[in-house]
Amino acid sequence: MLISLLRVVKFSIQDIYRNIWLSLVTIMILILSLFTINMLLVVKVVGDTAVEAIKEKIDINLFLKTTAEENEILALKAKISNLSEVKDVTYISKTEALENFKNKHTDNPEVLEALKILGANPLSPTLVIKPRNLENFDSLINSLNAFEDQIIESRNFANYKVMLGKINSITEKVYDAGLVLSAIFIAITLLVIYNSARVTMYTHRREITIMRLVGASKKFIQMPYLLSSIIYTFIGVLIIMIVFYLFLRLLQPYLEAFFVGYNVNLINYFFDNSLKIFGTQFLVAAVINVLASYLAVRKYSKV
């Protein structure tokens, strides 16, 4: 049994190097397919991060009258906090609002000068409301509109949901396009593996005839070719791990620049999930490739 297994491995390796160009083309196509699939994953991770980043930024500002008393404001804050759609309410007093404004415009002396000329603090106190989840965003807006408190001056309900929807839509479209691209590459891989096995079987037909004549079992005839497809997959996945790591090293600085203040580390993501990502890719690709090879060798290995 062990001897047979070792011979299957030996014949398989012989098969790969005797048809080295065919093997290289097969591996190259496999790498392209895997690269597309991993790119899809990158799109998904980046898309999810972008959506999360926007979700974090979504809040609703309720501007209050400058004459509003502190106790009235706190009472309103308490009422809003009790709404089920609300996650958190932050009260920004006039003084805090002025401080924030000044900090925001430290590089703009004209604005600060204008503020000085005004003399008094022109800013309103504000209640910053964070929604509990975006699905209830509309309901929250309705609830806030329903508040008839005299201290409310204006309601800034910019609809972030539209923006979020757009990002989701773009991500989904890119993802769908990636899926189609992946499907095309997978189909190409299947055809290439199938044809590689057929060409290999054709070039080895004499050897296979002799194997059949002298009493080799069908399994023994087929196994080296099936093993070759597993070896192709293994080499392909190994190369894609290296290539993709290099690719992510190049991409990472751009992502960090784009998502300032957010933790978007694709290298870490791929490292942390490497077994899951590449292990699954290896298993799925190996099963597909073995199947393609089996279909090709079945005809020639008939005893």
Interface region with other proteins, contact rule CB under 8 A, candidates 21-29, 137-145, 203-211, 241-249: 203-211
Interface region with other proteins, contact rule CB under 8 A, candidates 125-133, 188-196, 207-215, 281-289: 207-215
Interaction of residue 3 with other proteins, rule CB under 8 A: yes
Interaction of residue 206 with other proteins, rule CB under 8 A: yes
Interaction of residue 55 with other proteins, rule CB under 8 A: no
Sheet holding 86-92, edge to edge: 86-92, 126-131, 60-64, 152-156
What does the DSSP 8-state code read for residue 83? S
Interaction of residue 299 with other proteins, rule CB under 8 A: no
The nearer residue to other proteins, 44 or 218, going by C-beta atoms, is 218
The nearer residue to other proteins, 79 or 302, going by C-beta atoms, is 302
Which has the closest alpha carbon to 90: 121, 112, 68, 59?
59
Interface region with other proteins, contact rule CB under 8 A, candidates 54-62, 216-224, 266-274, 286-294: 216-224
Shortest spacing between CB 245 and other proteins, in angstroms: 40
- For residue 91, list its beta bridge partners: 127
Interaction of residue 118 with other proteins, rule CB under 8 A: no
Shortest spacing between CB 11 and other proteins, in angstroms: 9
Instruction: Among 7, 57, 102, 173, indicate the residue that binds other proteins (CB under 8 A).
Output: 7
Interface region with other proteins, contact rule CB under 8 A, candidates 19-27, 88-96, 215-223, 230-238: 215-223
Interaction of residue 287 with other proteins, rule CB under 8 A: no
Shortest spacing between CB 303 and other proteins, in angstroms: 5
What does the DSSP 8-state code read for residue 135? G
Question: What DSSP string describes 226-283?
Answer: HHHHHHHHHHHHHHHHHHHHHHHHHHHHHHHHHTTTS---HHHHHHHTHHHHHHHHHH
Exposed/middle/buried for residue 264 (C-beta within 10 Å: 0-12, 13-18, 19+): buried
**Residues 196 and 189 sit within 8 Å (Cβ to Cβ):** no
The nearer residue to other proteins, 196 or 301, going by C-beta atoms, is 301
Instruction: Among 101, 160, 220, 269, indicate the residue that binds other proteins (CB under 8 A).
Output: 220
**Residues 8 and 221 sit within 8 Å (Cβ to Cβ):** no
What is the distance between the alpha carbons of residues 241 and 168, in angstroms, rounded to a whole number? 28
What is the distance between the alpha carbons of residues 37 and 78, in angstroms, rounded to a whole number? 49
What is the distance between the alpha carbons of residues 246 and 232, in angstroms, rounded to a whole number? 21
The residues of the shown chain that bind other proteins, judged by CB under 8 A, are 1, 3-4, 7, 206-207, 209-218, 220-221, 303
